[in-house]
Amino acid sequence: MAANEKILEVLDLHVQYFTPRGAVKAANAVNLYVKAGEIVGLVGESGCGKTTVAMAILQMVQPPGRIVKGEIRINGHNIVNLSEAELRKVRWRELALIPQGAMNSLNPVLRIREQMGDAIQAHEAISARDLKARVLSLLNDVGLPERVYNMYPHELSGGMKQRVCIAMAVALNPAIIIADEPTSALDVVVQRVVAQTLLDVKKRLGVSMIMIGHDMGLQAQMVDRVAVMYAGNMVEVGPVESIFAQPLHPYTQLLIESIPSIRERKPLKVTEGLTHDLRNPPTGCCFQFRCPRVEPRCLQAQPAMIEAGPEHLVSCIHYQAR
Amino acid sequence: MEQPILSIQNATKIFGGGFLSSSKPIVALDRFSLDVYESQSKIITIAGESGSGKTTLANMILGFTPCTEGKITFNGIDLNQMNGEQRSFYRQEVQAIFQDPYEVYNPFFRVAHIFDMITRHFKLARSKKEAQELIEEALNLVGMRGGEILEKYPHQLSGGQRQRVMVARAYMLRPKLIVADEPVSAVDASLRAMILDIMLRLRDTRHISFLYITHDLSTAYQISDLMYVLFQGTTVERGNTAKIIEDPRHPYVQELIDSIPVPNPKIKWNMNIKLPSEEVMRMKNTVGCRFYPRCPKRMDACTKAFPPMVKVSEEHEVACYLYQ
Amino acid sequence: MTVEETVDPKESPATRRVNVWDSPWLNTKFLVGGSIIVVVILFGLLGPFFWNTELAYTASSPTNLPPMWMAKGSPEHPLGTESNGRDMLASLIVGIPASLRVGVLAATLGMGIGVLLGSLAGYLGGWWDHVIRTISDSVLIIPSLAVLIAIASYVQFPDTTMLALVLAMFAWPGPTRLVRSQVLTLRERGYIRMALLSNVPPLEIMFVEMVPNMLPWLAASFTGNISGAILGATGLEALGLGPTRVPSLGMIINYAMTSSALVRGMVWWWLPPILALIIIFTGFFLMTVGLDEIANPRLRGYGNGGK
């Protein structure tokens, strides 16, 4: 597999939720790719569409939502409009999900060995002995001791359950793992242990990841590239170093400035923040209501993504050549 | 010496373990003490992770749960022995903001209902017009206008707006103290600063103290004056916020601060923190230091008795035998 | 904001379906059940304008006439008559509302007592809770029909109101338990805490803050209780223990039984009241299930729409 091969490509994705009071445009013309062995962070505030994009990649958008337009390619094959049977093969084998609050999704009456075994057996024929060896090696991969094999979820702490979910996600060697806030609701020390586990697994298995999150600190620690979403639009994508060193889009700048520091005390940066109704977006840039640099020409159309540096794309009129 | 308005003395809360219950008692909060003075308005952080007892403390101060041992007094009157009038006065003087700014709205009513309740039951205004003015003033303080939000339903406001309305509501009562239980945890990162800034302004211009209950040491560092760090119900370090964050002494606080992800991709975690096995983690040390099972610097003395508070510098105390 | 702006015309079927999903009150089961009950009520309400209800009393008509579509049937008594000279159509027009009335009355009373006691038990807790729970649990395990029969054989009920009152004695423990558990969960809610911090007195918290949020649960319990009370009343009447002057559905069954309608092949006598009961029960059952789904989104088979 070539290092720069694009495992996953999202092309011009539009997702809308059809409510009685109009269609909620949860994702507009989103473009994103993930290369082999890379972690892409997907950030933005709640309701910005990051989970919607993840669900669309997995073809799991819940009604009344629907993919209106766009393609999702895995290893070059478009999976939008595949039949449910074909999709089942793609999910888990190619794509795995660590859902938000995954640790609470474990079945309380099944032992860990049964939960993990069932997930594997549902997708491949495997002998009982091989299955046990496989589950044990997966537990080992995520740094859990062997005795977890026979335990029930309630006997495990939150961090351990989260690691079981990671083990289940990698069980079928997927090409891409989508992790939706994999460490939220965990204590900060445990969060660090789980984050470490994820990085470790990624390195060992060479799997690619999309990590959804809102904690910019965690993103800085974990991901290779960051994709910033605002109100259903992708506003900036770039390598993590350049996003943190030189954020271009005013919204990204705001996000980075508003990270509370534990290193120095500084005055708070206060901004008004009212996002428009996603059913009725304004003409022009999606960030116009909150942008400190808004100009009349911003109100004409959503700016196209332009390349501002190597792999660094931004959707802001201020970086367009006049 | 000035008497504290709110004084928490050895407040302890034990759940379960009644003589009919089969479960072992759980000490949610162990001998917590804190004084709040009227003359100096301060933001006091109660920091801790899940299970640290910080929410139990908030519930005790707000009168939702009684202390098992110890007491909380307000102007010298025990919270559990207040008569109706005293309680009503206490409610006006000690208010609260909660974590989830959606949960605190009754979905059945418009936003104005929040203000109607307090104007009626605390008799804040003699006329409708006076009430309107009070509400408008409180809303203006948090950067909102009544006409825009009062007639809306809570779900029509954004998370940040809902929380600001709650701050305005608390402010309208002109309290001495606001218990803010994770007020910004459910608010988007880019809007947190606004809520925190309002808290700072209320402290400085209206002399309202805050008990800022949070798991987030970074925001606490930015806004608070004093800090109490809790671990499994016990106070492990307390004092000046900056001193604790910049020079943490307790091994737990050190581990905590060290684990906060640095928002700089160039400074990566110094990897491989190891937590002890689950059995060790679950083994609650109920006699000595609660952190003993996880502590990298544990000693035999730690299991014998709970370490007393030691003063390590001015306004900085730590409960750890390392500094004895 | 206009919908036209955002929704393509060819997508409107999807939007219409979404509409139904969006308002929980537009639950199919609830609507179908509700329509059935409305039709039944209209039958009772409008019937007297189209048919002479005096014919529901003894000796007002010729005896033992079959329905009009059978041999010897007559259009003057379209559903036939029975052995005591009652017209069946008139009996149903009078009997259906009589039975419904007993059910609604008993359920309303039971509900009222339940809301009051349940809120007290859940809200005040402690001693109140213990006493109320003990009594309601005890009443719940008493076989109500047996006790009713015992009572009814001593006291002859003068009218349906009296019957409803006695039935209500057994209709309150269910709502009491329901309201108590609801109050217990609501009490931990943020908005109830806010009300407490706003110095709102307990009664106002119960009835202004809590009860509106319990409406779907209360409604589901209410419709369920109506069927229960109708069943109880019909049972007593069929045994001949009900008020004898009013021809309720149970009374018709009782007369049919005592006059051996079954053996004599007088299907038009015993079947119509049973059919009416089945229709009524089906209607209330569907309403109850629908209301349950409305109150409990998880039963609706999709989430809250959150992400």
How many residue pairs from chains A and C have C-beta atoms closer than 8 A? 43
SS3 B44: strand
Report the alpha-carbon angle C107-C110-C116, nearest 5: 135
Residue B273 has a pLDDT of 66
Question: Chain C partners of B106 at a C-beta cutoff of 8 Å?
Answer: 191, 194-195, 209, 212-213
Given a cut of 50, is residue C190 above it in pLDDT?
yes
Q: Which residues contact A23 (CB under 8 A, 6 or more apart)?
A: A16, A17, A279, C6, C7
Question: Chain C partners of B64 at a C-beta cutoff of 8 Å?
Answer: 193, 196
Given a cut of 50, is residue A172 above it in pLDDT?
yes
- Mean pLDDT (chain C) is 79
Please compute, for residue C7, the number of CA atoms within 13 A of its CA located in the half-sphere on the CB side: 22
CA distance A234 to A27: 8
CA distance B93 to B107: 27
What is the arithmetic mean of pLDDT over C137-153? 84
Residue A319 Cα, gap to closest chain C Cα (Å): 30
**Which residues does residue A15 pair with via DSSP β-bridges, in sequence order?**
A27, A67
Residue B131 has a pLDDT of 92
**Nearest alpha-carbon partner for C67 in C271, C287, C289, C280:** C271
Model confidence at B275, pLDDT cuts 50, 70, 90, reads low
The single-letter DSSP state of residue C209 is: I
Cβ of C307 within 8 Å of Cβ of A18? The answer is: no
Show me where the domains of chain B are located.
6-108+168-246, 248-309
Residue C24 has a pLDDT of 65
What is the arithmetic mean of pLDDT over B87-108? 89
Express each pLDDT in C31-67 by its tens digit: 999 999 999 899 888 888 888 777 777 777 777 777 7
The single-letter DSSP state of residue B42 is: -
SS3 B319: coil
What is the arithmetic mean of pLDDT over B71-76? 92
Residue A264 Cα, gap to closest chain C Cα (Å): 35
- Mean pLDDT (chain A) is 86
Retrieve residue B172's tokens. Answer: 């309208």
Residue A62 has a pLDDT of 82
What is the arithmetic mean of pLDDT over B261-286? 70
Q: ipTM of this predicted complex?
A: 0.87
Residue C14 has a pLDDT of 36
What is the arithmetic mean of pLDDT over C250-263? 83
Residue A209 has a pLDDT of 92
Which residues, numbered 101 to 160 in chain A, qualify as contacts with chain B under a Cβ-Cβ cut-off of 8 Å?
Answer: 145, 155-157, 159-160
For the ranges A30-44, A84-98, A196-210, A226-240, which has the lowest average pLDDT?
Answer: A84-98
The single-letter DSSP state of residue C134 is: H
Question: Chain B partners of A271 at a C-beta cutoff of 8 Å?
Answer: 190-191, 193-194
CA distance C73 to A31: 78
Chains that touch C (3 or more CB pairs under 8 A): A, B
Given a cut of 80, is residue B153 above it in pLDDT?
yes
Residue that the structure tokens 């930015």 belong to: B222
Residue C128 Cα, gap to closest chain B Cα (Å): 19
Show me where the domains of chain C are located.
39-54+76-296
A 10 A CB-CB count for C208 gives 17
Residue B175 Cα, gap to closest chain C Cα (Å): 12
Q: Whole-prediction pTM value? A: 0.80
Phi and psi, residue A15, nearest 5°: -125, 135
CB contact A184 to B (< 8 Å)? no
**What per-residue string of b and e applies to A149-164 under the rule 16 or more CB within 10 Å gives b?**
bebebeebbbbbbbbb
Q: Which residues contact C86 (CB under 8 A, 6 or more apart)?
A: C55, C56, C57, C58, C60, C61, C247, C255
Given a cut of 60, is residue C6 above it in pLDDT?
no
Question: Chain C partners of A276 at a C-beta cutoff of 8 Å?
Answer: none
Which residue is closest to B252 within chain A, CA to CA? A189
| Omega prior to A292 cis, within 30 of 0 | no
Phi and psi, residue C142, nearest 5°: -70, 130
Which member of A188, A256, A262 has the closest CB to residue B49? Answer: A188
Cβ of B194 within 8 Å of Cβ of A260? The answer is: no
A 10 A CB-CB count for B290 gives 24
Asked if CATH classification 3.90.1150.10 holds for the domain at C39-54+76-296, the reply, yes or no, is no
CB contact A5 to C (< 8 Å)? no
The single-letter DSSP state of residue C81 is: B
Residue A322 has a pLDDT of 54
Report the alpha-carbon angle B157-B159-B162, nearest 5: 60
CA distance B90 to C90: 68
What is the arithmetic mean of pLDDT over B191-211? 91
CB contact C26 to A (< 8 Å)? no
Express each pLDDT in C79-126 by its tens digit: 778 777 788 888 888 888 888 888 999 999 999 999 889 988 888 878
**Nearest alpha-carbon partner for A74 in A63, A84, A86:** A86
Which member of A22, A64, A277 has the closest CB to residue C3? Answer: A22
Cβ of B221 within 8 Å of Cβ of A215? The answer is: no
Q: Which CATH superfamily is domain B6-108+168-246 in?
A: P-loop containing nucleotide triphosphate hydrolases (3.40.50.300)
Amino acid identity of C44? Answer: G
CB contact A274 to B (< 8 Å)? yes
For the ranges A117-131, B149-163, C150-164, which has the lowest average pLDDT?
Answer: C150-164
CB contact A277 to C (< 8 Å)? yes
Given a cut of 80, is residue B285 above it in pLDDT?
no
